[in-house]
Amino acid sequence: MRLPSLKYLHYLVNVHQYRHFGKAAKACYVSQSTLSTGIANLEKVLNVQLIERDSKHVLFTPLAEDVVKQSKQILLGIDELSQMVERYSKPFGGRLRLGIIPTISPFLLPQIMLLIRRTFPQLEVFVKEEKSDVVLDWLHQGELDLVLLALPYPANGLEMVSFYQDPFYFAYHKDSQYVSEEMHDDYSGLPEGAILLLEDGHCLRDHALDVCKLRGSNKINSFAATSLHTLVQMVNNDLGVTFLPHMAIKSGILNNTDIVTSVISRQQYNYREIGFSWRNHSTRKDEIQILIEVIREQISVFL
């Protein structure tokens, strides 16, 4: 049996992703006729039909779904092979595909990028920002090399290392209608619906719930913010209270607001861990560990 071309496997994976020959051809930087011919040649080599075509739909056969899955692994292996060879010729060279979550990105990414550029000038870094579950899925699929996120976060087949503890602070309007002087870290005395948090899917929501020890409580407002900046504006209008991480406060997110903060002193875990995650068998493991150590040593400079 003849072996399929990597180029044709690349075409197949893109058709599967876009479910459209024209869009897939554009993503592969070839004409639609070239891509269609490539798919036909792949089917000929494998001696099976992979795609059912009509004027409106692109349907993959059950076998084709398995072929696509295996093709992704093959292409990932080839990509890692190329990167490995490039790195041997140029240490900390090539590209690093970094994923990062929105509750860290605006407050830490600029400093980390500056540090990488200064310490590893030959390394190109491409960044994608999304929620934790999405960037970790991209990491599993080989679309990312490294993810910067808040820990703990459940994941299999990945290594995770923390390099910084990011404390939480209780945040409220200076004339808040919700806060009394007698509270002293006991948030059970807050009125119903007083605590404002991010929407489900943001790990910061879960970490904040762990801090206030009121998970599932009616103290949690049913309205959920889409970003920390939205959350801050709501608290600044005295619509509730919240819990903010130190790195956001340090970056100036409370500037020009009437929000004050207090230390959460009585809780055992009043912080979130900030760290990196990568695939267990990543070819970049040694470089990643060196990078983490460099950031760990410098983190106190900008946080």
pLDDT tier, 101 (very low <50, low <70, confident <90, very high otherwise): very high
What's the CA gap between 300 and 281, in Å, rounded? 30
pLDDT tens digits for 149-163?
999 888 888 999 999
Q: Look at the block and give the residue holding tokens 């230390």.
A: 263
Instruction: Report the CATH architecture of 6-73.
Output: Orthogonal Bundle (1.10)
CB-CB contact of 27 with 16 (8 Å)? no
Kindly report, residue by residue over 247-300, the tens digit of the pLDDT: 999 999 999 999 999 988 766 668 899 999 999 988 888 889 999 999 988 887
Task: Tell me what percent of the chain is helix, strand and coil, each rounded to the nearest 5.
Answer: 45, 25, 35
pLDDT for position 82: 82
B/e letters for 262-284, b = 16+ CB within 10 Å, e = fewer, are eebeeeeebbbbbbbbbbeebbb
Q: Which CATH architecture has domain 167-271?
A: 3-Layer(aba) Sandwich (3.40)
Does this chain's domain 6-73 share its CATH topology with 167-271?
no
Residue 88 pLDDT exceeds 70: no
Could you report the per-residue pLDDT of 182-238, keeping only the tens digit for each? 666 678 888 999 999 999 888 888 888 888 877 778 889 988 899 999 999 999 999
Can you tell me the distance from the alpha carbon of 235 to that of 214, in angstroms, rounded to the nearest whole number? Answer: 19
pLDDT tens, 267-282? 666 889 999 999 998 8
Q: How far apart are CA 172 and CA 183, in angstroms?
A: 13
Q: Where are the domains of the chain?
A: 6-73, 88-163+273-302, 167-271
Amino acid at 300: S
| Stretch (H or E) spanning 142 | none
CATH top class, domain 88-163+273-302? alpha beta
